[in-house]
Amino acid sequence: MAISKLLFSYMHLVLLFVVVSARHQPSVTGHEAKAQQQADRIGRLPGQPAVSFKQYSGYVTVNESHGRALFYWFFEATESPENKPLLLWLNGGPGCSSIGYGEAEELGPFLTQKGQPELRFNNHSWNKAANLLFLESPIGVGFSYSNTSSDLNDLGDTITAKDSYIFLVNWFKRFPQFKSHEFYIAGESYAGHYVPQLSEVIFDENKHVSKEEYINFKGFMIGNALMDDETDQKGMIDYAWDHAVISDHLFDELQLECNFSERNLTDACNTALQKYYEVYNIIDMYSLYAPSCYKNSTGSTRQFRMIHGIAPHLFSKHEGWHKKPAGYDPCLSGYTETYLNRADVQKSLHANVTKIPYPWTHCSDSISFWNDAPASVLPVIRKLVNGGLRVWVFSGDTDGRIPVTATRLTLKKLGLKTVKDWTPWYSSQQVGGWTIEYEGLMFVTVRGAGHQVPTFKPKEGLQLVRHFLANKELPITPF
């Protein structure tokens, strides 16, 4: 425990040093900012439907000496962008693309599809509620890169938060017209680490920076989020048994042989987990009742490289954990990868400018080791709740990967006082899910949604983010 605390303190000092260094980069004049914005402005993507709002994409450097740059895609709100908040969306993995999943398959304005045209407008895009920013982070993910190949060996939660903060500092220099807007962060899955950790950096830095460098940060929202190893892992097993995915015998074996608070697998636990993961070779772990894709147009498998050192520390050592999520169309990811690897699309996006020597993929094949990942982010969440930030946690209730069972166990562990217990909320005439209002935190379930809530329940997803941004309770009666 003492060594762990010393390591955390050391990483915090390193983070503080690099963040302070980033703040002392040369300022950008108004003329330079406009020129940079214009260079990043997207005219029209191949196969894109016509829209009236502006969109931008390109690179923001986060480390000059290493040549480290993160790729972003930004959409102004569909109406009155000057009056709307700014929302940053992050996908997890770690190592998965916020553009491939978040923008192209979940909540962005343009969703990929099979055939012609390649893109369709998302009628439930979250840029109807906010100015919407997607970031591929860390380097090695999607189009984000470093000219220093050894940077890939230094990745982990700490440097991801650090680089994402530096990205924001420099992005606001490029887009100063959004600097005063209310700023929020949202994400899913391993972004249960990314979002609170980045939020903490912003929260801490805002106490020291000048008025010009202050980020008007108001809160964050995380969905089907990895937050605590013990409860996330226990919740997976409990959910699988409760949803008739595994037998009583296997459930009892897992309970007996696996200690979910440990980081190491015993042989007996490993054997039991192999049996557990076998079922997810025939059904989709991320959405129990969705079909599986057996003919992916890219020919890719549904597995990505094991990354050693990530959370949860017990389950992530098992190959069965490392599966890629699918969408409601189980072959959708194949269409996205085909589209984003086209030279004309990359040119329109101002992407791949350094001729990255590998194809764009949803989840990075370049990342194989993760240096630091706390077993729990609950101390960070508790700190930010106590600091007055708005915090919402949502959960699609058909997800077997980070199920609602796990999230409920995790939030109970957080120990917040319940203000308003289990209450249904409505989307039109139908129950959209349930809420629990804790002191300083709102928990929302989304009925019938898998791991990627906006993919499976787009209408309810947009309703959710609108109420989060407005800080309003979801409707408790039909309308």
Find where tokens 């003919």 sit.
Answer: 295
189 in catalytic set: yes
Complete DSSP assignment for 364-396: -SS--B-----SB-HHHHHHHHHTT-EEEEEEE
451 in catalytic set: yes
Cβ neighbours of residue 410 closer than 8 Å, sequence gap 6 or more: 227, 228, 231, 232, 235, 378
Amino acid at 196: P
In SS3 terms, 304-334 reads as CCCCECCCCCCHHHCHHHCECCCCCCCCHHH
Q: What would the two tokens of residue 299 be?
A: 């020919």
Does 424 sit behind a cis peptide bond, omega within 30 degrees of 0 on the bond before it? Answer: no
Catalytic residue among 181, 193, 451, 467: 451
Catalytic residue among 163, 229, 284, 399: 399
Catalytic residue among 189, 333, 376, 427: 189
Phi, psi torsion values for 228, nearest 5 degrees: -150, 120
Find where tokens 């979250």 sit.
Answer: 126
What is the CB-side half-sphere exposure of residue 416 using CA atoms within 13 A? 26
SS3 131: strand
Exposed (0-12), middle (13-18) or buried (19+): which is 334, by Cβ within 10 Å? buried
399 in catalytic set: yes
Cβ neighbours of residue 372 closer than 8 Å, sequence gap 6 or more: 7, 11, 156, 157, 158, 309
Residues belonging to the active site: 189, 399, 451
